[in-house]
């Protein structure tokens, strides 16, 4: 959420964020070199952090020997997601994820037991602070250093379902092969908040149900796009949450662009959830020449019926945002069982619809 890059204002005069039509090519020359050096240091510090947090992780189930050289891996950090994980695993297995590397952050609802039963899941557990671990990213970075290098790695939350062009007929290996052929090492996806036709706490969805049947609606055309020139990363906000909860403070609205799929190298590091990563070239998942690159959508299943209780709990824990106090109102609104559906909402019918609406693109992929 928001952006941490503001405090370090180098180079001076570089806009914090560039709206449509104002982005210039990357800074070059000496300034560019100094900027690159600063970002390099930042990346190294992130790796160091991950290394120092490695002891917080206790291995519970380690099947990582099964990982074959070309496997697509999925990294996730979970807490009390037993209701979502069965479908999450099923969806991404069907896409061709060969191994899941999960960190369980003190679940009490049987999440760990659920994961222990799976032969393609390696599990670590920790009771340490989620917030102090950069919202789980330090732990995942460590696991990625250990196991991710050389693989295409998918980093997701349990309430995120990745879809991409042709996902029903082509596995992830086809996508990653295409990306490699294009010389790309990263793949961008827009988080789309899915919500029900009724108030968010109504209805019932079982752990094995497809949550998208219940969460069948989304906002199609209210996404605000900017690019932050320092790391050349996108900063997309908007969607249902911005409309319903952040109309008074749009800057604080959740960041929706993610780069969840990366051909990993142990030197890489996610900076801000999976929104931004270093080295910065991996953030350029968009075309600047007017064309379109291939991109996907993350269907966000946050608004399942349990959301109200969960928000009440998270507000108390205060583990979720950099400045949790600012988000008290947001949690209160969520706890109050809001209605997100409006007459302007769109019903989800598939990736081709998402593409036609301009939320994702096939790019040049046929």
Partner 1 sequence: MTLGVIMLCHAALDRTAQLARHWAMHGCPVVIHVDARSPQAQFDSLRTALKDLPDIRFTRRLPCEWGTFEIVQATLEAASRMLAEFPQVDRVLLASGSCLPIKPVRALQAHLAAHPDTDFIESVTTADVGWTIGGLNEERFTLRFPFKWKSQRRLFDGYVRLQRFFRLRRRLPPGLVPHLGSQWWCLTRPTLQAILQHPDRARIDRYFKLVWIPDESYFQSLVRQVSNRIESRSLTLSKFDYQGRPYIFYDDHLHLLRQADAFIARKAWPQAQLLYDTFLTPDGDRAHAAAPSPGKINRLFAKAVERRVNGRPGLYMQSRFPIHARRGTQSAAPYGVFSGFGALVPEFKPWLSRALDARVHGHLFAFDRVQFADGETVFKGGLSDSPTLRDYNPRSFLTNLIWNTKGETQCFQFGPEDEQEIAPFIASDPNASIFVVSGAFAIPLWQSGRSAAEVRAEAARLQKVESDFIDLLKGPETKARTRIWSLTEFIENPAEPLEQLADLLNPRAAHRTGELPLLVDLHGFGSFLQDLRNQGMAPVLMGDFPSDADLALPSPPFARPRVVR
Q: Binding residues for partner 1, per CB under 8 A?
A: 19-25, 166, 169-171, 173-174, 177-178, 181-182, 188-190, 219-227, 234, 236-240, 242-243, 246-251, 257, 285-295, 342-346, 358-366
Residue nearer to partner 1 on the CB measure, 166 or 266: 166
Indicate the DSSP class of residue 255: P
Residue nearer to partner 1 on the CB measure, 73 or 242: 242
User: Taking the complex as a whole, how short is the minimal distance between the CB of residue 227 and partner 1, in angstroms?
Assistant: 6
User: Taking the complex as a whole, how short is the minimal distance between the CB of residue 166 and partner 1, in angstroms?
Assistant: 6
* CA 217 – CA 342 distance, rounded (Å): 9
For every residue of 97-161, DSSP letters joined together read: EEEEEEEEES--SSHHHHHHT-TTEEEEEE-S-TTTTTTTHHHHHHHHHHHTTTSEEEEE-TTEE
* CA 217 – CA 120 distance, rounded (Å): 32
Residue nearer to partner 1 on the CB measure, 218 or 268: 218
Instruction: Label residue 21 exposed, middle or buried (CB < 10 Å: 0-12, 13-18, 19+).
Output: exposed
Are 291 and 365 in contact by the 8 Å Cβ rule? The answer is no
Strands 186-193 and 257-263: antiparallel
What is the CB-side half-sphere exposure of residue 228 using CA atoms within 13 A?
Answer: 23
Instruction: Label residue 75 exposed, middle or buried (CB < 10 Å: 0-12, 13-18, 19+).
Output: buried
Integer angstrom CA distances of residue 273 from 81, 134, 255, 276, 364 = 18, 8, 10, 7, 28
Return the structure tokens found at 96: 């061709």
Q: Which of 205, 184, 171, 4 is nearest to 92 (CA)?
A: 171
User: Taking the complex as a whole, how short is the minimal distance between the CB of residue 62 and partner 1, in angstroms?
Assistant: 28
User: Taking the complex as a whole, how short is the minimal distance between the CB of residue 219 and partner 1, in angstroms?
Assistant: 3
* CA 293 – CA 363 distance, rounded (Å): 4
User: Taking the complex as a whole, how short is the minimal distance between the CB of residue 248 and partner 1, in angstroms?
Assistant: 6
Residue nearer to partner 1 on the CB measure, 178 or 331: 178
* CA 317 – CA 327 distance, rounded (Å): 12
User: Taking the complex as a whole, how short is the minimal distance between the CB of residue 145 and partner 1, in angstroms?
Assistant: 27
Residue nearer to partner 1 on the CB measure, 122 or 283: 283
Residue nearer to partner 1 on the CB measure, 119 or 169: 169
How many C-beta neighbours within 10 Å does residue 243 have?
A: 17
Residue nearer to partner 1 on the CB measure, 46 or 293: 293
Residue nearer to partner 1 on the CB measure, 73 or 253: 253
User: Taking the complex as a whole, how short is the minimal distance between the CB of residue 344 and partner 1, in angstroms?
Assistant: 5
Residue nearer to partner 1 on the CB measure, 266 or 365: 365
User: Taking the complex as a whole, how short is the minimal distance between the CB of residue 22 and partner 1, in angstroms?
Assistant: 6
User: Taking the complex as a whole, how short is the minimal distance between the CB of residue 251 and partner 1, in angstroms?
Assistant: 6
């Amino acid at each position: 959420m928001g952006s941490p890059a503001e405090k370090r204002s180098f180079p001076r005069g570089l806009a914090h964020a560039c709206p449509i039509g104002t982005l210039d090519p990357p800074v070059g020359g000496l300034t560019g070199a100094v900027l690159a050096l600063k970002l390099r240091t930042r990346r190294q510090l992130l790796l160091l952090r991950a290394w120092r947090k490695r002891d917080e992780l206790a291995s519970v189930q380690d099947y990582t020997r099964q990982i074959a050289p070309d496997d697509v891996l999925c990294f996730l950090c979970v807490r009390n997601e037993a209701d979502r994980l069965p479908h999450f695993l099923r969806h991404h297995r069907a896409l061709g994820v060969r191994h899941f590397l999960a960190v369980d952050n003190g679940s009490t609802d049987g999440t760990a037991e659920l994961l222990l039963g799976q032969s393609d899941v390696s599990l670590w557990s920790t009771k340490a602070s989620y917030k102090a671990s950069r919202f789980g990213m330090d732990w995942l970075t460590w696991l990625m250093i250990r196991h991710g290098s050389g693989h295409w790695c998918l980093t997701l939350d349990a309430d995120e379902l990745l879809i991409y062009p042709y996902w029903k007929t082509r596995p992830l290996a086809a996508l990653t092969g295409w990306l490699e052929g294009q010389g790309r090492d990263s793949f961008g996806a827009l988080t789309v908040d899915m919500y029900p036709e009724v108030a968010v706490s109504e209805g019932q969805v079982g752990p094995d149900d497809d949550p998208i049947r219940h969460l069948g609606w989304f906002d199609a055309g209210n996404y605000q796009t900017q690019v932050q020139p320092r790391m050349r990363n996108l900063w997309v906000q908007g969607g249902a949450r911005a409309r319903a909860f952040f109309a008074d403070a749009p800057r604080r609205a959740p960041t929706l662009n993610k780069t969840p799929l990366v051909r990993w190298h142990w030197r890489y590091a996610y900076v801000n959830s999976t929104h931004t990563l270093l080295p910065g070239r991996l953030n350029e998942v968009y075309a600047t020449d007017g064309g379109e690159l291939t991109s996907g959508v993350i269907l966000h299943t946050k608004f399942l019926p349990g959301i109200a209780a969960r928000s009440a709990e998270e507000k108390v824990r205060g583990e979720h945002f950099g400045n949790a106090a600012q988000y008290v109102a947001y949690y209160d609104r969520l706890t109050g069982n809001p209605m997100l559906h409006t007459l302007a909402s769109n019903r989800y019918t598939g990736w081709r619809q998402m593409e036609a609406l301009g939320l994702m693109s096939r790019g040049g992929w046929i």
